[in-house]
Amino acid sequence: MPISPYKGGKTKRHFTLSNDAYEHLSAIAGDARLSRSEALERLIRSTPVWEGSATLSDGAWKLCIDHSVNFLQDETI
C-alpha cells in the first residue's frame, strides 16, 4: 500500500452510510479512479467548515439536491 501523503497517515475509522450514499460514493470514487476512502478524504478536505451550517444543517438540507437519488434514477433508465 502506498504511503499516505497526509500528515500522520490514515487511521481506520467506523461510520455508517445509507445504501444510496454508499453507492453514490462508490460511483464518485470510480469516476475519479480513487478508493472510496481517498474519495471521501478529498471530499471532506475540500469542504470548508462553514459549509456545515450552510448546507448540512436540517433547515438548509431541505433545499439541497440529493445527487445520490438522481444518480440512482439515471442508472435505471
Q: Where are the domains of the chain?
A: 19-76
pLDDT confidence of residue 41: 93
pLDDT in tens, 9-58: 888 999 999 999 999 999 999 999 999 999 999 999 999 999 888 888 89
Which has more confidence, 57 or 71?
57
Which has more confidence, 16 or 3?
16
* SS3 labels along 6-54: CCCCCCCCCCCCCHHHHHHHHHHHHHHCCCHHHHHHHHHHCCCCCHHHH
In the structure, what pLDDT confidence band is assigned to residue 72 with cuts at 50, 70 and 90?
A: low
pLDDT confidence of residue 7: 77
